[in-house]
Every structure is written in structure tokens, then in C-alpha cells.
């Protein structure tokens, strides 16, 4: 019993310290609209991009937050962010948004997030 006490302490520290952002938490309030989200019916110029995203520390708090922010951005048709590969894939209307604009959306989500590389694609690969 005496030998198992340090094990439980270490296990508790690992369990409780798992997916935590080391920076001061930032609260973002998103107003909820009663209207259904607007979809782009006719795309001016359908384009695809692959993003290398830096600064994510967990799947739920970081990757999902960035993904939702991208999906709510006017001109973006779809977005998927993968925490494990630090990658995002975006389908967007190139007449409304460019690659720098997409990068700015990620950066505006939180001060610790940045796009280290963004590539224009012929189609989605995710």
C-alpha cells in the first residue's frame, strides 16, 4: 500500500494535466443567431487549401475551435482541422476570400495559433 501512493499521485497529475492550454484562457463569446446559417448557393470560383497550423495543444479546445471559426466565415464552404497532423483543409470561394484571409481567420481565433504554411490545392484530399 505504501508503494502505490506515489503511483496514484503521478497518475493524478498526468490525468489532470492532460489537455490544458498553458496560456491564460481566452473567453470568446459567439452570439447565437435565430436564423439558419447561410450557405453559398453558387460559388464564384471554388478553391481548396491545405493549412499547417501551429500552436494547437489539444483536439477539443483548439482544433474544434479553429474549425468552427473557419466554418462560420463568409466565403468558406467547408473546413476540417486535424489536431494530430496539425493540418486544416478548407473549401472556399476564391472570389470572396484568398489564402491570406484564411490565414487571418486562424490567427484571429487565438493568440497562440498561426499558419506556418498554406498551399492551394486542385481538390480536397482529406
pLDDT tens digits along 65-86: 999 999 999 999 999 999 999 9
Q: Give me the residue label for grid cell 500552436.
A: 55
Cα dihedral 34→109→21→112 (10° resolution):
180
Domain boundaries, the chain: 43-126
- Read off the pLDDT of residues 80-120 as tens digits, 9 standing for 90 and up: 999 999 999 999 999 999 999 999 999 999 889 999 999 98
Q: How does pLDDT run across 12-62, given as a tens digit for each residue?
A: 665 555 555 555 555 556 565 544 444 445 567 899 999 999 999 998 889
DSSP 18-84: TT--SSPP-----PPPSSPPP--SS-SSEEEEEEEEE----IIIIIHHHHHHHHTSTTEEEEEEETT
DSSP 126: -
Q: Which three cell numbers stand for residue 27?
A: 473567453
Among the four given CATH numbers 3.30.70.100, 3.40.50.720, 1.10.10.410, 1.10.3470.10, the one describing domain 43-126? 3.30.70.100
pTM: predicted TM-score of the whole model, two decimal places? 0.64
Amino acid at each position: 500500500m505504501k508503494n502505490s501512493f506515489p503511483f496514484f499521485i503521478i497518475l493524478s497529475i498526468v490525468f489532470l494535466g492532460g489537455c490544458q492550454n498553458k496560456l491564460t484562457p481566452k473567453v470568446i463569446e459567439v452570439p447565437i443567431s435565430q436564423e439558419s446559417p447561410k450557405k453559398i448557393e453558387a460559388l464564384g470560383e471554388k478553391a481548396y487549401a491545405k493549412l499547417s497550423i501551429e500552436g494547437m495543444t489539444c483536439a477539443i479546445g483548439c482544433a474544434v475551435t479553429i474549425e468552427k471559426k473557419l466554418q462560420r466565415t463568409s466565403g468558406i464552404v467547408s473546413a476540417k482541422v486535424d489536431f494530430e497532423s496539425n493540418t486544416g483543409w478548407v473549401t472556399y470561394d476564391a472570389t470572396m476570400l484568398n489564402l491570406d484571409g484564411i490565414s487571418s481567420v486562424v490567427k484571429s481565433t487565438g493568440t497562440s495559433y498561426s499558419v506556418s504554411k498554406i498551399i492551394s490545392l486542385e481538390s480536397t484530399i482529406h
